[in-house]
Amino acid sequence: EAAVTQSPRNKVAVTGGKVTLSCNQTNNHNNMYWYRQDTGHGLRLIHYSYGAGSTEKGDIPDGYKASRPSQENFSLILELATPSQTSVYFCASGDRDWGGFYEQYFGPGTRLTVL
């Protein structure tokens, strides 16, 4: 079974509207991440979390908020969506492996279109 799931898989929103993207993981990992993927930019980190109740800014946090209410769930919130936020969003979970290094496990992605 998929260990990182995202919902919705596709979303069309209007400019100025609020959008919430949800992520659930069953890996029992402490860390979770939100990325966006755009042609010419690869994967860019928006927010991440060390565990329930924590959120940290990534490399491109402007216009986004995050919420980590539990170990399993991590949400990305766009309070006022803009067309520039049209993208594919990936959630990932991660923890130290046997060698002490982190690996990340990605969900299937959410395609967001803001009109």
Task: Compute how many residues bind other proteins; rule: CB under 8 A.
Answer: 27
21 binds other proteins (CB under 8 A): no
- Nearest in space to 32 (alpha carbons), one of 75, 1, 87: 75
Give the distance from CA 77 to its chain's centroid. 9
Q: Is 39 or 62 the residue whose CB approaches other proteins more closely?
A: 39
For residue 59, give both structure tokens: 């490399």
CA triplet 57, 60, 66: central angle to 5 degrees? 45
Alpha-carbon distance 56 to 40, whole Å?
25
72 phi and psi angles, rounded to 5 deg: -85, -25
57 binds other proteins (CB under 8 A): no
> Least CB distance from residue 79 to other proteins, whole Å?
24
Judged by CB under 8 A, the residue of 80, 108, 113, 115 near other proteins is: 108
107 binds other proteins (CB under 8 A): yes
Q: Is 48 or 74 the residue whose CB approaches other proteins more closely?
A: 48
Which residues here bind other proteins, judged by CB under 8 A? 4, 31, 33, 40-43, 45, 48, 50, 56, 58, 90, 92, 94-96, 99, 101-109
